[in-house]
A = this chain, B = another copy of it.
Amino acid sequence: MRPLAIGQRSETVRRANLSAIVRELHANGPRSRSMLVARIGLTRSAIRSLLGELLAADLVREERAALRGTPGRPSPVVRTNPEAMVVLAVEVNVDSLAAAVVGLGGEVVELVRVDRASGSASVDDTIAGVVELSRRLLADRRRRNALVGVGVAVAGVVRRRDGLVSMAPNLGWRDVPFGERLIAGLGLDVPVTIVNEADTGALAEHLRGAAVGHEHVLFVTGEVGVGGGLIVDGRPLTGVAGYGGEIGHIPVNRDGRRCGCGAIGCWETEVGEGALLVRAGRPADGGRDALDAVLDEAAAGSPVALNALEETGHWLGVGLAGLVNLLNPELVVLGGRFGRIHPYVADSIEEELDRHALAAPRALVRIVPARLGADASLLGAAEVAFEALLADPADWMRRSNRVELASA
């Protein structure tokens, strides 16, 4: 139902096939030629010819290595070359900054996470912090030469086109041209893409975490705020400008509290970290240490802590019920701090789903904790940075002169 159907020329087809091979190896690891034939659905000779291009460009390597579980003589396997191209992934959160160098194929080459005191999240300090991490991780010249992109996950409402942060209530930002300023600060000669951190978390859990193999996924992450990332038919739902997935700001309680966004009774005001801490008798801004303390108390059987978690679980369930009815997902993945509290809120969530969700979609959905833990959003930022390359490796080979190399 696209308004403009696009026909396919043979050059387009070649590029799409190169993309299919690189994506397969990037997402699923080393493959024999036979497995590539089976997975990609092309003839053996077509795969051979395309692999020839990728090998010559040094994007992939072929090695004799036994695949697990295959007896007899090791057959050659193709794998991505993680040194040929790397991305810089960055995560900007309220109480921490993180950065990583990730190679093609998803290998984390180096990862650094630094806590920062609350109140140090100004735009200037954040940019300075990211630039410092970037210099440290890219000090090695070979890495810098292999850099193909930067992906940045931000805990805020982000315009995909230029990385404008329209609002990040928990960082205290509003209408910040973060992309523009960060690009200037980094001074790197590669594309920089800024994305909401829940969207990148969803990508990572879908590609390498709890949601592998599922095509209809809702990722719900709790940090200081609450974010959502949606996978619809196997693809991220971004909305028209990249603002999609702001589930923290669905109105759920018209008699509720005022939210950082200015509205009354947003879901975040009931399920965010602050609400849980207040229910557990602590200051709303107690942060990660206070959350750790509440979880310790709950583990020791404290009724106050357990009740606070249960109430939070009920509100989680009410919001999730609406989202289950709307999206009919097969999987809801609870990430960030929701992943940590999952054991204490799972029952309450299921109860509210029974009560509020329609029987049909309710019966098909499972609620699970995230598998990538605290690094999901950071790892997803790497995927965002790889996306242009994965979508059209031929273009990258041409621009980086690897094609000349190939024909030499």
Contact = CB atoms under 8 A, between A and B. Distances in A.
A243 interface: yes
A13 interface: yes
Contact of A206 (B1, B17, B19, B43): B1
Interface string A180-192: 0000000000000
Contacts of A383: 1
B322 A3 contact: no
Contacts of A237: 232-233, 237, 327
Given A4-B39, A17-B7, A325 B360 contact: no
Interface-centre pick from A7, A19, A24, A250 (highest chain B CB count, 10 A): A7
Contacts of A329: 239-240
A210 to B, nearest CB: 14
Contacts of A27: 1, 3
Number of copies: 2
A148 to B, nearest CB: 18
B239 A328 contact: yes
Interface-centre pick from A27, A230, A250 (highest chain B CB count, 10 A): A250
Interface stretch (A100-108, A116-124, A251-259, A275-283): A251-259
Interface in A82-123: none
A250 B157 contact: no
A125 to B, nearest CB: 24
Interface stretch (A60-68, A212-220, A285-293): A212-220
B244 A327 contact: yes
Contacts of A131: none
Contact of A240 (B17, B215, B246, B325): B215
Nearest to A9: B42
A236 B327 CA distance: 11
A217 B400 CA distance: 39
A263 B17 contact: no
Nearest to A25: B5
A105 to B, nearest CB: 15
Nearest to A315: B254
Interface stretch (A70-78, A138-146, A305-313, A351-359): A351-359
Q: How large is the interface on A (under 10, 10 to 19, 20 to 34, 35 or more residues)?
A: 35 or more
B1 A358 contact: no
Contact of A322 (B42, B212, B251, B364): B251
B240 A216 contact: yes
Interface string A12-33: 0100110111011001000000
A21 B5 CA distance: 7
A234 B3 contact: yes
A408 interface: no
Nearest to A390: B1
Given A241-B361, A246-B326, A263-B356, A40 B207 contact: no
Contacts of A167: 358-360
Contacts of A249: 322, 325, 356-358
13 contacts: A1-B203, A1-B206, A1-B207, A9-B42, A166-B359, A166-B360, A215-B240, A230-B326, A233-B238, A241-B328, A244-B328, A247-B325, A250-B325
Given A237-B237, A245-B328, A249-B358, 12 more contacts: A1-B206, A1-B234, A5-B19, A8-B16, A157-B360, A166-B359, A215-B240, A216-B244, A233-B238, A244-B326, A247-B325, A250-B325
